[in-house]
Amino acid sequence: MSGTDDSGAGRHVVVACHAWYGDVTGGAFRLASDLAAFLANRGWRVSYVCSSCSEGGPESQQISGVQIHRYPAARRGSRIGRMLHHIRQTARLVSEIHRNECAVDVVSSHSPLQGLGAALGLRSAEPFINYTVHSPFEDELLSNLSGRAGITHRAAAWLGRRIDGWNVRLANRVQTDSRWTYDRFVQRFGDREMAVKGMVAPAWVEADRFLPVDDRLQVREALGRPWQTDIPLFFTLRRLEHRMGLDMLIHASSVLARQGFRFRVLIGGGGSLYDSLQRQVDAAGLSQVVVLLGRIPEPVIPQCYAAADCFVLPTRSRECFGLIVLEAFACNSPVIGSR
């Protein structure tokens, strides 16, 4: 993603996503943020519209030539109320950008709520809309649920499917990261519309950043204490949420440790389950075996992949693409993944 030309000169694209990757980790956020920076480097005017994921953060900020516009997230209210908040706030913000700053030519949507908000906010302007589907919204909502779905969760999932459907109808193109996701959308929204609008475009890896290393032990030494071991080292990088299956990884580690195997598991990432997972580690007596690293600084993530003997992807369900698998492979780290 280097080099500059004027192929986008004079054109304005809004990239609509739940978060900027510098604020929150996640494959969809990385891809959207990387695309925004790439387009800015190609001469496009790029406005990145997203939710503010921390109180007191800047509402407007420029990074890598991308103008980031953040709206305040809803901290309270029902799940459905918060979903509607994202749609309304995105619609308001993109409408203001179009009206007061520069007319929008293209919308590149990477999250369903922000995508629908951008499409509704610019409906009269009729920009070209590319709706990129990283994961079906209904599946995402249900897979992050622990236990049986109550009426609120079922209602949110019902609304999630309809939001994806509205995005499909309003888009000029529907782009999926994988054939699995494409087929899922054909089942739900019909082959006729997807045949006209749909396409599969797999994600990418920055091959000049994610590289193998000659000496893994030397890299481990530089990464710090949790990494400094010569026993088999397993690594995963995930949002600490139910869908990611990290509780299953900890349970599997407990089984193997009781059988006498010597190894270490390092879990990178932040999320709502941090305290719960740490309690699970402590209760199983795994404090010397499983270590929660918290959020890992972006510059050292490639070294983390390369330092591991194996990358683990213990997703509970709906791993629609798995960008981190490609990143691990690029660093010559083998992968154990669930289906």
> Within the chain, which residues score under 50 in pLDDT?
1-5
Query: Under 8 Å CB-to-CB from 304, ≥6 apart: which residues?
Result: 223, 227, 235, 237, 266, 268, 296
Determine contact, residues 177/202, Cβ cutoff 8 Å: yes
Instruction: With beta carbons less than 8 A apart as the criterion, state whether 185 and 168 touch.
Output: yes
Q: What is the pLDDT of residues 218-258, one digit of tens each?
A: 999 999 999 999 999 999 999 898 889 999 999 999 999 99
Q: What are phi and psi of 337, to 5 degrees?
A: -130, 150
Tokens of 244: 């990611």
Task: For the chain, state the CA radius of gyration.
Answer: 21
CATH 3.40.50.2000-classified regions of the chain: 12-200, 216-337
Give the pLDDT of residue 326. 92
Task: Name the token pair of 158.
Answer: 């019902």
Residue with structure tokens 């929204």? 189
* CATH class name, domain 12-200: alpha beta
- How far apart are the C-alpha atoms of 308 and 43, rounded to whole Å? 38
Q: Please name the amino acid found at residue 160.
A: G
Amino acid, res. 166: W
Does an H or E element contain 278, and which? helix 274-283
**pLDDT for residue 144:** 63
Residue 147: per-residue pLDDT? 55
Name the residue type at position 336: I
Q: Would you state the pLDDT for residue 4?
A: 45
What's the pLDDT at 7?
66
The model's pTM is 0.84
CA distance 237 to 245: 12
Tell me what pLDDT residue 82 has: 93
Q: Comparing C-alpha atoms, which of 107, 108, 110, 88 is closest to residue 98? A: 107
Rounded Cα distance between 31 and 219, Å, is 26
Please name the fold of domain 216-337. Answer: Rossmann fold (3.40.50)
Model pLDDT, residue 77: 84
Say what the pLDDT of residue 3 is: 45
Contacts of 114 (CB under 8 A, 6+ apart): 16, 17, 18, 49, 50, 51, 86, 87, 90
Burial degree of 188 (CB within 10 A; 0-12, 13-18, 19+): middle
User: Which stretches does DSSP call E strand in 275-321?
Assistant: 290-294, 310-313
